[in-house]
Amino acid sequence: MSGYGQFCPVAKAMELLDERWTMLVVRELLLGSSHFNDLRRGVPKMSPALLSKRLKALTRAGVVERTEIDGRTSYSLTACGRELATVVEALGTWGVRWIGELGDEDLDPHLLMWDIRRTVPVDQWPTERTTLAIRFDGVDARASRWWLVVADGRADVCDFDPGYEVTATVRTSLRTLTEIWRGDRSWPHALLDGSVAVSGPAHARRAVPSWIGQGTLAAAARPV
């Protein structure tokens, strides 16, 4: 993008960071993604070519470091890049507090399940391999069935049946689970009003809210 023609540090910073998708790429790096395909899963509507372009720009600016290990490329934030953590957190908190209701175009099952997978509280799950099936009503069939698997202290998410025994099944709408994840709704209210239904053994039904949890910004205070 062309510069703002101002000496103001805010203007100079925005010459780099104001490019479309740039701060979301930084968000993904802050959340631990380090390989190109993992980064893509966090920005599924961004083209591979544009992601590559943004990574190159951030690398040239000294925000991102690119390394090659055994022929595989990885990306990480430099010291100055990591300083953007407070900026991203502040933007997210402000967005939760002041940006209005989500439109249908804002709902994305792939991004939601990827975000759940990388922050799921695995310490709340049983020590043996456990599989939670999630079914979204009103979503295209290709994106309506998901499996969240936790084993050996690691979480994975599948959009195909991994073949493991399912411990419990969650049925809800994409909007409802997104709102719970963002902190716009609570698990108890969603279960009470029936917008979330959980089937399976009683102990698993009770545990599902703690197994999935909520997103990192769910606790941000809303305006009174």
Which tens digit of pLDDT belongs to each residue from 163-195? 999 999 999 999 999 999 999 999 999 999 999
Give the phi and the psi of residue 90 in degrees, each rounded to 5. Answer: -65, -40
Contact (CB, 8 A) for 155 and 120? yes
Contact (CB, 8 A) for 54 and 22? yes
- Looking at residue 207, its pLDDT comes to 97
Residue 1 has pLDDT above 60, yes or no: no
Residue 125 has pLDDT above 70, yes or no: yes
Mean pLDDT (whole number) for 101-130: 94
CATH, range 9-98: 1.10.10.10
| CA 95 – CA 77 distance, rounded (Å) | 23
- Looking at residue 224, its pLDDT comes to 79
- Looking at residue 71, its pLDDT comes to 87
Q: Where do the domains of the chain lie? A: 9-98, 104-212
Mean pLDDT for all residues in the chain: 95
- List Cβ neighbours of 81 (8 Å cut-off, separation of 6 or more): 26, 29, 58, 62, 63, 64
Mean pLDDT (whole number) for 121-129: 95
pLDDT tens track for 24-61? 999 999 999 999 999 999 999 999 999 999 999 999 99
- List Cβ neighbours of 182 (8 Å cut-off, separation of 6 or more): 96, 214, 215, 217, 218
- Looking at residue 22, its pLDDT comes to 97
Report the amino acid identity of residue 117.
Answer: R
Q: Quote the distance between the C-alpha of residue 160 and its chain's center.
A: 19
| CA 145 – CA 183 distance, rounded (Å) | 23
Residue 216 has pLDDT above 60, yes or no: yes
- Looking at residue 100, its pLDDT comes to 77
Q: pLDDT class for 98, splitting at 50, 70, 90?
A: very high
Q: pLDDT class for 101, splitting at 50, 70, 90?
A: confident
Q: pLDDT class for 21, splitting at 50, 70, 90?
A: very high
Mean pLDDT (whole number) for 138-156: 95
CATH 3.90.1150.10 at 104-212, yes or no: no
Residue percentage of the chain with pLDDT more than 70:
100
- Looking at residue 204, its pLDDT comes to 96
Q: Which of 49-53, 98-102, 216-220 has the highest mean pLDDT?
A: 49-53
